[in-house]
A and B are shown apart, each in its own frame.
Chain A
Amino acid sequence: EVQLVESGGGLVQPGRSMKLSCAASGFTFSNYGMAWVRQAPTKGLEWVATISYDGSSTYYRDSVKGRFTISRDNAKSTLYLQMNSLRSEDTATYYCTRGPGITAYYFDYWGQGVMVTVSS
């Protein structure tokens, strides 16, 4: 059974940093692209970043470029999202998702999500 379990969320002040993790199991992690998708409270879904199966390629939405970094450790079957210079508009539930192949532009499995609140 595919499982994606996020951790690392919470309350953070504007301008500070936070790192999210996603532990994957139930599939060969190193064969799949992964992505982060977020959802602001009572809002719709917003793609944040994608990383290829081997970590060689990364892609970001414009509003997080230069502030967020997606990475992965295939030996640990873990996906990360380093978030710097956080803003109030980054407040959302962040979902770890799996792509159907070596990259991730649609998402066949989702974690339960982790809440990130950016507020002073």
Chain B
Amino acid sequence: DTVLTQSPALAVSPGERVTISCKASESVSTRMHWYQQKPGQQPKLLIYKASNLASGVPARFSGSGSGTDFTLTIDPVEADDTATYFCQQSWNGPTFGSGTKLEIK
């Protein structure tokens, strides 16, 4: 299985720029997707195929990367962005990262 590694947690202040990273154990081309999960809710698709904004997602969210290294950027961060962010690859059987918990100070 392709293992996706994410840092466990981040804390930033409103208005700042935050980058959340995801590293794959092998190349997944651009088959990387990002989800936001707020407490008690189902996940929501933010970015698909590395850099494409999902429908209805604010332009403050963006994604980049290819191969093994990927980044989700939120700029500027808002208080409502408090959530856990998961990356997921679909190149080699779907697998998810363990999630990055984002705290807004």
Contacts and interface: CB of A to CB of B under 8 A. Distances in A.
Interface of A: 35, 44-47, 50, 59, 61, 95, 100, 105-113
Contact of A105 (B41, B54, B90, B99): B90
B38 interface: no
Task: Give the dominant DSSP class at B's interface.
Answer: loop
A61 B90 CA distance: 13
B68 interface: no
B45 interface: yes
A44 B35 CA distance: 12
B19 to A, nearest CB: 20
Contacts, number: 48
Contacts of B90: 105-106
B15 interface: no
Contacts of A111: 42
Contact of A106 (B42, B48, B93): B48
B42 A108 contact: no
A44 B98 contact: yes
Contacts of A106: 31, 33, 45, 48, 88, 90, 94
B96 interface: yes
A95 B43 contact: yes
Contacts of A61: 93
Given A44-B86, A105-B90, A95 B42 contact: yes
Contact of A47 (B31, B54, B96, B97): B96
Given A44-B86, A45-B86, A45-B88, A110 B96 contact: no
Closest 10 CB pairs of A and B: A105-B90, A47-B94, A110-B42, A45-B96, A106-B33, A44-B98, A106-B90, A108-B45, A105-B94, A44-B99
B44 A110 contact: yes
10 contacts: A44-B99, A45-B99, A46-B96, A47-B95, A95-B42, A106-B31, A106-B94, A108-B54, A110-B43, A113-B42
